Structures are given as C-alpha cells and as structure tokens.
C-alpha cells in the first residue's frame, strides 16, 4: 500500500513536470508569434506609406515610370511574402520568402529615393519630406521588431533544444523556428556606421 502511494506520488510529480515543460514551450512559441505580429504591424504601416510616396513622386517623375512601377510590384510581392509568413511565423521557408521580398522592396524604394534626389522640387515637397521621414521612422521600428522577434525565436529554440525539454518538444512535435534574417543585400548597409556630415 505504502509503495503504491509513493508510485502514485511519483506519477503525479512526473505529470506536473511534463505539463510544466509543455506549458513553457507553448508560452515561448506564443511569445515569438506575438513578436512576429509586431513585425506585421510595422510592415503593414510601411506598405501603407508606399502608395502615398509613389503618388507624391508621380507628378514629378513622369519620365521615371519604370521606377514607380517597380516599387508597386515590389510592394505587392512583399505583401504576399508577409501573408505567407503570417500564416506560419517561424517557418524557415516563410521567413526566407519574407526576407527576399523585403530585400526586393528595399531595392525598389532605394532606387525611387535615389531618383527623387535628382528632382529638387520633389525633394523640397513638404509631403515628400514627411513621407520619407515617416518611412525612415517605420524602418527603425521594423528593425526593432525584427530584433525582438529574433530574440523570442532564440529563446523558444533554446527551450525546445535543452534536455529534458527536448524530449517533451519531440513528443509533441514542437518544430524549430527560423530567425528573420537581414536580407543579404542590406547586411553591409545595416552594419556600417552611419555617415555624419556637417
């Protein structure tokens, strides 16, 4: 009888231990999904700014139609990439597609802003200045949100890989999550020190 009580107590303790690890994995997974939702908010804001930027530039850049069309096409691709990533945050293929479409959009926006530099009237346009300022602010927020997401993914992946959590994670199919990497084309630009001119 006494040994049956000890065995029952051990089973209960083991069950609570497994439930605790399982709940910790769920909490970590929900944490990186929430962090991805913050990226989603900032990218949506960015996508909403782009049509206004293009409309403002359109009147000045009549001879730069290809540049404007490239920005609109890249925005559409980036929205699709974000939709795929929202369906499965942390999935390596979805994160790769999101990073690739963001790189394409960044390139198109960079070309638009470079072309805009050649048009002094456009550069001095109050609406254009405000939109580029908002876009730059949003880019900073995207960078912070990406960092928070990557930190959450790292915490989740660490939790699912350490023993004994790895056993529970394997039993309940907790898949590894992928980081949202800085697109290859931007890595040098992001890591370079900003240039200050007086």
Least confident window among 2-11, 70-79, 106-115, 186-195 = 186-195
| pTM recorded for the entire structure | 0.79
pLDDT value at 197 more than 80: no
Distance CA 30, CA 37 (A): 10
Distance CA 46, CA 136 (A): 9
Q: What share of the chain in percent tops pLDDT 90?
A: 63
The CATH architecture to which 33-175 belongs is Up-down Bundle (1.20)
Tokens of 164: 């004994």
Distance CA 119, CA 23 (A): 57
pLDDT tens per residue, range 69-83: 899 999 999 999 999
Cβ atoms of 43 and 82 closer than 8 Å:
yes
- What is the overall mean pLDDT for the chain? 87
Query: For residue 185, what pLDDT is reported?
Result: 54
Alpha carbon of 3 to those of 9, 105, 187: distances in Å?
10, 67, 62
Distance CA 178, CA 164 (A): 22
Higher pLDDT, 20 or 191: 20
Mean local confidence (pLDDT), 38-44: 93
Least confident window among 18-27, 126-135, 139-148, 178-187 = 178-187
Q: What is the DSSP letter of 192?
A: S
Distance CA 93, CA 81 (A): 10
DSSP 57-111: HHTT-TT-HHHHHHHHHHHHHHHHHHHHHHHSTT-HHHHHHHHHHHHHHHHHHHH
Mean local confidence (pLDDT), 174-179: 92
Distance CA 55, CA 124 (A): 15
pLDDT value at 187 more than 60: no
pLDDT value at 196 more than 70: no
Cβ atoms < 10 Å from Cβ of 37:
13
The residue behind tokens 């999550």 is: 177
Q: Sign (positive/negative) of CA torsion 164, 169, 175, 178?
A: negative
Per-residue b or e along 90-108, where b marks 16 or more CB atoms closer than 10 Å to that residue's CB? bbeebbbbbbbbbbbbbbb
Higher pLDDT, 99 or 1: 99
The three-class DSSP label of residue 109 is helix
pLDDT tens per residue, range 118-137: 888 887 888 888 888 999 89
pLDDT value at 109 more than 70: yes
């Amino acid at each position: 009888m006494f040994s049956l009580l000890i065995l029952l107590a051990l089973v209960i303790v083991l069950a609570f231990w497994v439930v605790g690890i399982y709940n910790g994995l769920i909490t970590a997974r929900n944490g990186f999904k929430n962090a991805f939702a913050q990226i989603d908010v900032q990218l949506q804001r960015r996508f909403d700014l782009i049509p206004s930027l293009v409309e403002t530039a359109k009147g000045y850049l009549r001879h730069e139609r290809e540049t404007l069309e490239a920005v609109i096409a890249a925005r559409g691709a980036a929205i699709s990439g974000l939709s795929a990533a929202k369906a499965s945050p942390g999935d390596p293929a979805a994160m790769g597609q999101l990073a690739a479409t963001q790189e394409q959009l960044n390139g198109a926006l960079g070309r638009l802003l470079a072309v805009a530099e050649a048009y002094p009237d456009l550069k001095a346009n109050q609406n254009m200045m405000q939109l580029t300022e908002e876009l730059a602010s949003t880019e900073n927020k995207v960078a912070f949100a990406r960092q928070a997401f990557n930190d959450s993914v790292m915490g989740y992946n660490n939790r699912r890989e350490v023993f004994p959590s790895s056993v529970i994670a394997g039993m309940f199919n907790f898949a590894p999550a992928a980081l949202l990497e800085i697109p290859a084309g931007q890595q040098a630009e992001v890591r370079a020190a900003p240039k200050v001119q007086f």
